[in-house]
Chains A and B, each alone.
Chain A
Amino acid sequence: DAKTTQPPSMDCAEGRAANLPCNHSTISGNEYVYWYRQIHSQGPQYIIHGLKNNETNEMASLIITEDRKSSTLILPHATLRDTAVYYCIVRVDTGRRALTFGSGTRLQVQP
C-alpha cells in the first residue's frame, strides 16, 4: 500500500468547512483513497473512499487531484462531534483487506 502524509493536527471553527489534506504521491493506478476517523475512546469509523473521481456522501466530500497524488477530505459544516483523528489510507481493493493506518490528523473543532 502507498504511503500517506498528513499534518499532525488542525483546528477548525464550528460551522465552518474543515479541509483535511493528504499526500499520497506514490499511489498506484489500482489503489483507492480511503478516509476513516476515530473519535476518542471509539473504534475507527469509515467515512468515504474514491479512486479518481470526486465523491460525496452524507458525511463528507472527497476531492482527489487529477494526478491522484493528493486528496482533501471536506467536512462541509464541522461540529464539535467531528473532533477526532482522521486517517487517510491508500490501498488496493482486492487481496488482503487489512488497513494500514498512519498517525492521522487530529482535528479539533473549536466552539
Chain B
Amino acid sequence: ETGVTQSPTHLIKTRGQQVTLRCSSQSGHNTVSWYQQALGQGPQFIFQYYREEENGRGNFPPRFSGLQFPNYSSELNVNALELDDSALYLCASSLTQGSPYEQYFGPGTRLTVT
C-alpha cells in the first residue's frame, strides 16, 4: 500500500509568481484535502475535493485553487504569491465510506516566497 506523496519537497518562489503543488492519494482513497501550516501553528484547511469536485473550502481567497484528477491525485495552485503564503502545504487523503474518516497526510511541500 502506497502512502500519500507530495512534490516537490521544497520550493522557492518570488512574490507575484504562481505555483503548483502536487499530491498523490493513498491507494483507494477518493477524497483529498489541502492544508496550509504556517510556522509554529496548526494546519489550516484550504479545501477538499471528492470525485473531482470541490467539496468544502476554508477561509482562503480564490487565488488558491485546486484540481482532482480521475486517479484521485490532486494539485493545489496559488496565483499572485504573497510573502504570507510561505508555509508548509499538506495534503491528506481519506475514504468517504465508513467511519472514522481518518485522514492520511503526506510529508508536505515547504514553500518559501521571497
A-B contact count (CB 8 A): 60
- Tell me, yes or no, whether B74 is within 8 Å of chain A by CB: no
B33 to chain A, nearest CB (A): 6
Tier of interface size on chain B: 20 to 34
Residues of A contacting B42 in the complex (Cβ-Cβ under 8 angstroms): 85, 87, 101-104
Most buried by B among A34, A43, A87: A43
Distance of A34 Cα from B42 Cα, bound (Å): 15
Q: Which of B48, B90, B99, B103 makes the CB contact (< 8 A) with A93?
A: B99
CA distance A34 to B100 in the complex (A): 10
**Chain A: interface residue total (CB-CB under 8 A):** 21
Which residues in A have their C-beta under 8 angstroms from that of B106?
43
Return the contact of A98 from the options B48, B105, B107, B108 (Cβ within 8 A).
B48
Give complex CA distance A49, B107 in Å.
22
> A residues within 8 A CB of B55?
96
Residue in chain B with minimal CB distance to A32: B100
Interface members, chain A 61-111 (any B CB < 8 Å): 85, 87, 93, 96-104
Q: Check if A46 sits within 8 Å of B102, measured CB to CB.
A: yes
Residues 13 to 57 of chain A near chain B (Cβ within 8 Å): 32, 34, 41-46, 49
A45 to B105, CA, bound (A): 7
9 closest cross-chain pairs (CB), A and B: A43-B105, A101-B42, A96-B56, A98-B45, A46-B102, A97-B101, A101-B43, A44-B105, A49-B100
Add 17 more A-B contacts to A97-B94, A97-B103 (CB < 8 A): A34-B100, A43-B4, A43-B106, A43-B108, A44-B90, A44-B105, A45-B105, A93-B100, A97-B31, A97-B96, A98-B33, A98-B48, A99-B35, A99-B43, A99-B45, A99-B92, A103-B41
B contact set with A: CB distance below 8 Å = 4, 31, 33, 35, 41-45, 48, 55-56, 58, 90, 92, 94, 96, 99-108
Residues of A within 8 A of B (CB): 32, 34, 41-46, 49, 85, 87, 93, 96-104
